[in-house]
Amino acid sequence: MNKKQLIQVMASDIGISQAQVKIQIDQILLQIHKALTEGEKVYVPQFGTFELRYHLAKNGRNPQTGEVIEIAGFNQPSFKAAPALKKAINEN
């Protein structure tokens, strides 16, 4: 399911316009984005947690020259599903 399909399904289920649903979804995604940018975790009960995971700097190798290079550390957004979501998925 992509974002457009999600908007259509939600609008149909809730009984409001797709434009209204799009505004709400965009706002939710914006707030998650802002929180992660500021280093915060976003916990949604019964769904899961969005957070940043830091990957340490490491040495790598250029495959063409064999030269050792340093790969800088970086933050990676991640999602950890809540037990309730895992259980609901595995029941179906």
Predicted local confidence at residue 92, as pLDDT: 65
Cα(22)–Cα(6) distance, integer angstroms: 9
* pTM confidence score: 0.77
Domain borders along the chain are 1-40, 41-92
Predicted local confidence at residue 91, as pLDDT: 86
Q: How far apart are the first and last CA of the chain?
A: 17
Tens digit of each residue's pLDDT, the chain (92 residues)? 999 999 999 999 999 999 999 999 999 999 999 999 999 999 999 999 999 999 999 999 999 999 999 999 999 999 999 999 999 999 86
In words, the CATH class of domain 41-92 is few secondary structures
Which string of DSSP letters, residue by residue, matches 57-82? PEEEE-TTT--EEEEPPEEEEEEEE-
